[in-house]
Chains A and B, each alone.
Chain A
C-alpha cells in the first residue's frame, strides 16, 4: 500500500520534512518503497483541497496521507478527515507501527508530548514543524487538480500586507518584554535596545492582556513563533505559553530581577536585575563600543 504526501511545493522545507516522515512511516509499515508526493493545483479553498485529498484516498486506498503541520496543512487535512470521517493526528512527531499504530504528537504548543493510538482506515497525519529532518530536495510532486466541494469558500482578497520594517518572524534579534517591564511607557527601554540592534520588539501574553502592547507583538503559543539568532527576554517569567513561541531561538538571554524565575532554566545567558536598570546600561554600552 502506498503513502501519499501533500506538499506545498517541491522545495518547501516543511513539506520535505513531511516527505521524510512519510518515508520512515512507509519503511516501518512495509508500504511501497517510495511515497507519492503531490501538490494541489488551483486557487486555495480549504474545503475543496480537503475534498481533493479525500478523493485521492477513495481512488487509491493509501495506507496514509502525510502533510506538513502548517496552518494550511492542518486546515486541509481537517477538511479531508471530516469528509472521510477518519481520525486525524495533527502536529505529529513520531510514528510507531502496530495494530493500531501509535503516534506521538505535540500538546501545549510543544511543552508536552502525547502518545495516542490512531485507529484510522487511512492514517491521516500532519507533521509538527522541525520534528524531523527534511528529505533532500529533488522529488517531482504529482500535480493533482483541485476537486469541487459545495461548501468551499475561497479568499476574495488579501489585505494588510506588511509595510516594511523588521517583522518578528524574520528578525535576527528579538527584544521581548513581560510583566516585569511594568507599563506601556516602560517599553521605551525595550524599544531602544531593539532599535540599536536592528531587531524587533516582542512581548508576553501578560503584556497584551494588560493592553500595554498590541497582540501583533505577542510571542507565544497563541501569538507569533520566532526564531532569531538571539532572543532577549526582559522581565518575562518563562510560562509554558511564552516558551512555546520562542523555543526556536538559537540563543536566549534572560534579564529578570527574580533569580529563581523559570525563564533561567531555558536561557543560555542570564542577567539578574531590574530591566529598567539593566537595559539602559546595555544600550549605553553598545553606543560606547560603537564610539557614537
Chain B
C-alpha cells in the first residue's frame, strides 16, 4: 500500500492569541509550530497501516520553507518520504490548496492507494480540502473518521456521528479525513529523528492562483467581559463552592 498523509504547519497557540500589527496573521514571535492535531493522527494512522499491510508512507505539505521542520517530524514518526509544495508564506485558499495537492499526487510515479487528511486544519478550519481533492481525482471520500480497517482491498471507515459511528465501506483508492482520537500518535525517537534527516524530501514551487476565499483581516472575538469571583484558596474554599453549586441548582 502506498499511503499519502497531508499535513499543515500551524502555530502552537497556548493560552492567548495575539495578532501581528497588520492583523493578517497570529504573532508567532514567542510560539513554536506543530502539525494540526487531526493531521498528526493521519500520519500515525498511515504509518500503522503500512506497518500491518506493507508499503510506504508519503507525507505532503503545502507551506513556507519552515514547514520542512514538520515534514522531518512526520518522517521521524515513520513516514518514508516527503513532498514539500513551497509557498512564499502567503495563505492559500482551500481550492488552490486542493489543486496543488492534486497536481502533486497526479505527478507521482506510484499512485496512492489511500490519501489521508485531517478532518479540518487547526487554524483555518475550512472543512473541504479532502473533499475537493477526492472529486478532482475521481475518488470516493469519507470524513470525520475515528477508525480505519483495511481488508480485501477496501477500507472500513467509522465516521463519528451523534449517538454512535456510521460505517462506510470504501473501495481503494479512496480519500479519508480523520479526527484526533483515531490513535495516539507516537513521539519521535532519537534514532527516528536521525533517520528522518536522511529520508528523501522533494520540494517544488507551485504557482498560487487567485484566491476565491481571500482572507483580508483577522480579529479577536469580543472579550467575554467576565470578571472572575475568587471563592477562596485551598480546601477552605469548599463551603463557598458548594453554595455556588446550590445557587445554580446542580446540587
How many Å lie between the Cα of A261 and that of B166 in the bound state? 39
Binds B, one of A31-39, A57-65, A80-88, A133-141: A80-88
User: Do B216 and A102 touch across chains, with their CB atoms under 8 A apart?
Assistant: yes
User: Do A159 and B164 touch across chains, with their CB atoms under 8 A apart?
Assistant: yes
Distance in angstroms from A123 CB to nearest chain B CB is: 11
User: Do A158 and B216 touch across chains, with their CB atoms under 8 A apart?
Assistant: no
User: Do A285 and B228 touch across chains, with their CB atoms under 8 A apart?
Assistant: no
Interface size on A, residues (CB 8 A): 98
Interface residues of B in 4-31 (CB under 8 A from A): 13-17, 26
Distance in angstroms from A200 CB to nearest chain B CB is: 12
A10 within 8 A of B: no
Determine chain B's interface SS by DSSP, over half rule: mixed
Interface residues of B in 184-205 (CB under 8 A from A): 184
How many Å lie between the Cα of A286 and that of B239 in the bound state? 8
Closest chain A residue to B219, Cβ basis: A113
Residues on B with beta carbons closer than 8 Å to the beta carbon of A271: 230-234, 237, 241
Interface string of A233-269 (1 = CB under 8 A from B): 0000111110000000011011000000110111111
How many Å lie between the Cα of A239 and that of B134 in the bound state? 34
How many Å lie between the Cα of A173 and that of B224 in the bound state? 21
Interface residues of B in 62-99 (CB under 8 A from A): 93-95, 98
Residues on B with beta carbons closer than 8 Å to the beta carbon of A282: 238, 241-242
User: Do A277 and B234 touch across chains, with their CB atoms under 8 A apart?
Assistant: yes
B221 within 8 A of A: yes
Determine chain A's interface SS by DSSP, over half rule: mixed
> Contacts A82-B128, A153-B169, A277-B235 given: A113-B230 contact, CB under 8 Å?
no
B100 within 8 A of A: no
B32 within 8 A of A: no
Residues on B with beta carbons closer than 8 Å to the beta carbon of A216: 181
* B residues lining the A interface (CB < 8 Å): 13-17, 26, 37-38, 93-95, 98, 122-128, 131-132, 134-136, 138-144, 158-170, 179-181, 184, 210-221, 224, 226, 228-239, 241-242, 244-246, 248-251
Return 21 A-B CB contacts under 8 Å, by A number. A46-B143, A71-B143, A79-B141, A82-B135, A82-B136, A87-B95, A87-B212, A88-B128, A102-B216, A112-B26, A114-B219, A115-B216, A116-B214, A153-B170, A197-B250, A215-B181, A229-B249, A268-B229, A270-B228, A270-B229, A273-B237
